[in-house]
Amino acid sequence: MATEKNIEFEQFPVAGIRLGIACAGIKKENHKDLVLFELAEGTQTAAVFTQNAFCAAPVTISKKHLLESTPKYLLINTGNANAGTGEQGLTDSLACCEFVASVTNVKVSEVLPFSTGVIGEYLPMNKFLPAIKAAYENLSEYNWENAASGILTTDTVAKAYTRSVTIHNKNITVSGIAKGSGMIRPDMATMLAYIATDAKIHKSVLQNCLLEAVNNSFNRITVDGDTSTNDSAILMATGQSGIELKENSAELVMFQKALTDICEELAKEMIRDGEGATKLITLAVTGCSSEKEAKDVAYTVAHSPLVKTAFFASDPNWGRILAAVGRAGVEDFDLSKVNIALDDVNIVRNGEKSSDYTEERGQAVMDKSDITIYIDLGRGDKDIKVWTCDFSYDYVRINAEYRT
């Protein structure tokens, strides 16, 4: 028997994971900007990274170290992405791993580095060693919420979520933290996510679990259509609950659901906290002939500046949605089969304005902070769900002032 429930975050750490936080002063003084994860012996680790060809130095080093060793420490810094920094960036990222190794007495390849922040600037290396020592001394299994704050950049709120799953009258815990607010789109977005469980899961099975969860969460969000150089999602399984989840088992299905739900919640929190965002918009596209077609429609609408600014203004200008659907590149498009709704308000039926639609009903939906756009093409059984947000004045201000 297996059951699951959501639980208050700070009360349920993950056995086998300790976290330490320090103020390195990388971009701002007296600001939590360095986080160290310690993974207990035997922890299995899975990872997914950005698909941006211009990936950052820490991504390159992390990929290399994952092939060479089983990770024992993760080091995350904010305020500087260490991207676009060439050979010096690789040297600096490796040096950060060497600092951790010297403090913790592990192999350099057993450390995975992660960075987020401004692209094109070198890491201030003189600040890392003392901060790493401070983070190591701060290690605690109860530091998840502090770590959630310590990985933020332009985010305005920390993002953390925990779920407990009961299997055969024993509990396993799944806990995750993430950061992400702008430069967000599929292929991971500008985000870092760290998720851990005390279940015992084989590394190859764990990797498949992470891929499925990411594809249905972090790869289904978009703020502005930009993909970052540093995106990373890490899943750690310590095995310290004593509960082993085997491939193709009913218990693994329960774990997968909990993992995907956590990733989805973290992903939606990124959109709610999108730079300058005032609305969470869910795009539910159905009736498509292929998954690609569903994606093309969903992201064309999600990336439309005209649609996004209309939502910011709470303007029920549904013509912008219809126009975006029409330019999504759907072959043999039949407008007469298209139905569109805002929440429970039909705006387009059979390709034209719904007979029961009124501006007042549309306005009532647009005034909400969470809105779902339903788009049915009426041509197949493929569907997709994507989360996005509106474009506000503050999005332009935040990104215009990012380096100042």
Q: Give the Cα separation of 361 and 377 in Å (integer).
A: 23
177 within 8 A of 194, measured Cβ to Cβ: yes
C-alpha of 367 from chain center: 27
Sheet holding 111-116, edge to edge: 17-22, 34-39, 73-78, 111-116
3-state secondary structure of 150: helix
Q: Give the Cα separation of 191 and 179 in Å (integer).
A: 5
C-alpha of 47 from chain center: 13
190 catalytically annotated = yes
Residue among 43, 154, 162, 190 flagged as catalytic: 190
348 within 8 A of 339, measured Cβ to Cβ: yes
Q: Give the Cα separation of 338 and 210 in Å (integer).
A: 35
Query: Torsion over CA of 393, 399, 400 and 403, rounded to 10 degrees?
Result: 150
Q: Give the Cα separation of 181 and 193 in Å (integer).
A: 13
- The contacts of residue 22 (CB under 8 Å, 6+ apart) are 32, 33, 34, 36, 131, 132, 134, 135, 138
Nearest to 258 by CA among 189, 179, 384, 172: 172
Question: Hey, which residues does 373 pair with through a beta bridge?
Answer: 283, 342
Active site residues: 190
